[in-house]
Amino acid sequence: MMNEDNLPLALARAMRRLLAPLFRVLLRHGMSYTAFEALARRVYVQVAIEEFGLPGKKPSISRTSILSGLTRKDVQRLLAEALEATEPASEHVNRAARVLAAWTRDPDFVDAAGQPRTLALQDGPGSFAELVRRHSGDMPVRAVLDELEHAGAARRLPDGQVELVARVFLPRRSAVDKIDLLGGDVADLIGTIDHNILHGGSDPRFHRKVMYRDMPAEVAAPFRELGRERAMALLVELDQWLAARAAAASDTVAASPTPSTPTEPLLRLGLGIYYFEEPLEPSHQPSRKED
């Protein structure tokens, strides 16, 4: 077991590995180190204030200065500035993704086997227009359909109906939409690792991967396809499990004679799977499995 005295070294090593791919993205898209540093300072102060206060005491500038390593003057200045909005900027993408999710979950838009139905575009109940009206807020039907078609998630058939092609919404239109995934998905993974550092002994969250080193390049394509098929099947199964329980909870609330506050806190929860590969220097070492 690693000695706790080595924790700063381990943290520095982990940060170098974490920051390298992040900085690759930032450099590719024109964010300077100065801009990154300014943003990092502001978020450091925000997290220190919001999450590291002492129980029963109001967060103080002095404590935030000590935790962050910034001067009191810097902390005061940063607190006076409005932080950038943390919600994804591409709200139209988020709404299109909600429509796609509802197409696979809402009982009015799936068949008896629970599979998404092919929908009439504008034909009243059970139509694509009704799906959009119910689950997108106030987005125009054509705008949602265009977004799903651009993402390769839906397509219009010759008879005018709309067919679901993919259950997962991955925006293809712009780098802005895709970078939103960087902030969300990577944050979730780091949150899981942080939870396991603090509570892994008593309340571990699932975090596993399978990896082999020194694999021949020709293995990548079939493994990528196998992983896509198996992972998608698992995610569909988990999605259906969660959808059934969400529907049951909604029915319970609807059946209640008077509105009530849930006895259990509401959560955002899920499970993510991702594929990775990178080239290695030529090696004659045998393949090694790592979990």
pLDDT (tens digit per residue) in 85-98? 444 445 555 788 88
**Domain boundaries, given as residue ranges, for the chain:** 10-84, 91-164, 176-203, 211-256+265-290
Mean pLDDT computed over every residue of the chain: 84
Please determine, for residue 283, whether its predicted confidence score (pLDDT) is greater than 60: no
Q: What is the mean pLDDT of residues 185-196?
A: 93
Question: What pLDDT shows up at residue 203?
Answer: 95
How far is the CA of 149 from the CAs of 10, 112, 219, in angstroms?
45, 26, 32
Q: How far apart are CA 244 and CA 209, in angstroms?
A: 28
Please determine, for residue 12, whether its predicted confidence score (pLDDT) is greater than 90: yes
**Residue position matching structure tokens 């987005």:** 139
Please determine, for residue 59, whether its predicted confidence score (pLDDT) is greater than 80: yes
Q: How far apart are CA 129 and CA 144, in angstroms?
A: 10
User: Which of 32, 46, 36 has its CA nearest to residue 82?
Assistant: 46
CATH 1.10.10 is the classification of domain 91-164: yes
Q: Say which DSSP state 281 is in.
A: -
Q: What is the mean pLDDT of residues 162-182?
A: 76
Give 215-279 as a DSSP string: --GGGHHHHHHHHHHHHHHHHHHHHHHHHHHHHHHHHHHHH-SS----SS---------------
Q: How far apart are CA 17 and CA 14, in angstroms?
A: 5
Please give the structure tokens belonging to residue 7. 């924790």
Point out the least confidently predicted range of 4-18, 88-102, 105-119, 236-250.
88-102
pLDDT per position as a tens digit, 118-155: 999 987 889 999 999 998 877 899 989 988 988 888 99
Please determine, for residue 262, whether its predicted confidence score (pLDDT) is greater than 90: no
Is-contact 136 106, C-beta < 8 A? no
Is-contact 120 126, C-beta < 8 A? yes
Coil, helix or strand for 8? helix
Question: What pLDDT shows up at residue 88?
Answer: 46
pTM: 0.71
Question: What pLDDT shows up at residue 65?
Answer: 93
Element (H, E) at 34: helix 33-51
Is-contact 149 114, C-beta < 8 A? no
User: Which of 162, 154, 145 has its CA nearest to residue 95?
Assistant: 145
**Residue position matching structure tokens 């990178």:** 278
pLDDT per position as a tens digit, 201-227: 999 999 999 999 889 999 999 999 999
Is-contact 90 177, C-beta < 8 A? yes
Please determine, for residue 290, whether its predicted confidence score (pLDDT) is greater than 70: no
Q: How far apart are CA 116 and CA 104, in angstroms?
A: 5
Integer-rounded Cα radius of gyration of the chain: 24
